Every structure is written in C-alpha cells, then in structure tokens.
Amino acid sequence: MSLLGSGFLPEIINAYGGLRSSMRAQMEKKPGEESLLALLAYGCFVIFLSFLPRLFATDLSQTPDQSIAGGIIMWFFVVMFFLPLVLYGVAGISHLIAKRFGAKGAYFNARHALFWMLAVLSPALIAKAMLGSVFIQIGGAFGDNMLHVLNVLLSLAVLRIWGATLAEAEGFRSSFRVSAVILSIFAGISGIIYLGAI
C-alpha cells in the first residue's frame, strides 16, 4: 500500500502498511552488496542520532564541552564501526537458525531483512529518542517507568518488524512464529549473560 509515492523515505513510511510486502518489494529490486552496505550505514547513523537526545539530556548538568563531546565521539565510533560487524554476525546467526527451521533464503536475504528492519525502525527510534529525553528531564519514578515502557515498546517493534522481514526473506509463512523464535533466542542469550554476571 503506497501512501506517499516512491523514494527511500516514503518506502520506509509505507512499510508500516505492509511489512512483508515492503520486504518483498525490496527483494524484487535485486540489490547488490553495496546497496545493503548503504542500508546498513543509514540504519547505524539513525541509531547514532537516536542516542544524542538522551546524551544531551543526561549530561546537561555536567561540563558540556568535555562530557558531551567525548560521549558523541565514542558513540559515533561504536555505532558506525563496531555495530555493523555485530549486525553481520546477528544476521548470520539468524540465517543459521532459520535454516534449521526449513528456510529457503540465503545469507544475503537474512542480511537484507535485518538491515531493512533497521531502516523501517528508524522513525520509531527517533520518536523514542525524543520522548526518552523528555522523560529523563522529568526524572523520578514516573520518568523511569516511562523510559521502561518506551524500551518495551521499541523491543516489540523490533520483534514485529524483524519477524516479518525475516519471514519474507527466508520463505516462512508465519511472521509471528519467526518473531517468537527471535524472542526466545534473545531471551536465552540475555539469561546466559545475566547468570554469568551474578
């Protein structure tokens, strides 16, 4: 369902009207590796931008010339250079697990699904960042609780969007089952990390 015409940003907005069909349309373009890298760079840059309001909100009481500048430089390096490597690994793991469940796609498709999910998620990331900075300023129990709510909502959005894009890319019928598998994997990883930390 096209509401805003063609182009990269309208495609992102239109994707919310049909996640699987948007992924199908992306695959039909038959992009090369350079297109996936551009998609990944866009997603990582939006993640970097989404961190800035929170950084400014938490560091306003400190000396802005040192703490904020250092935080921005560090976060830019982590997100633009380290995160892409992590995401390639996550895409590879998701593809290996999907193959166990009868996936028909290739590793390229799994990467495409993950990177397109980041692009589609970008409006939600920016909205969450702006709201999060407001709740940090409010502070107290209410501000903390609202930050937790925003994090839960963003996590659900990741599961829903990635489940749909990965299901389409790997040839599964049910995107909700794929989302459930993704949730189980990350819950297991989080549990292992938590147990190792205590």
Task: Say what the pTM is.
Answer: 0.85
CA distance 125 to 149: 14
Alpha helices in 78-139 (DSSP H): 83-100, 107-138
Q: How far apart are CA 137 and CA 66, in angstroms?
A: 20
Q: Which helix (H) or strand (E) holds 45?
A: helix 33-59
d(CA 58, CA 106): 42
Coil, helix or strand at residue 188:
helix
Distances (CA, A) of 34 to 23, 40, 108: 18, 10, 12
Biggest CA-to-CA distance, the chain: 55
Q: What is the chain's pLDDT, residue by residue, as a tens digit (198 residues)?
A: 455 556 788 899 999 999 999 999 999 999 899 999 999 999 999 999 988 877 776 655 455 555 677 778 888 999 999 999 999 999 998 898 888 888 888 899 999 999 999 999 999 999 998 898 888 888 788 888 898 899 889 988 999 999 999 999 998 888 888 888 788 777 766 767 666 655
Calpha distance 125→109 (Å, rounded)? 23
Q: Residue 170's Cα: distance from chain center in Å?
A: 18
Q: Measuring CA to CA, which residue among 187, 23, 35 is closest to residue 120?
A: 23
Quick check: 52 and 133 in contact, CB under 8 A? no
Q: For residue 105, give the DSSP letter.
A: S
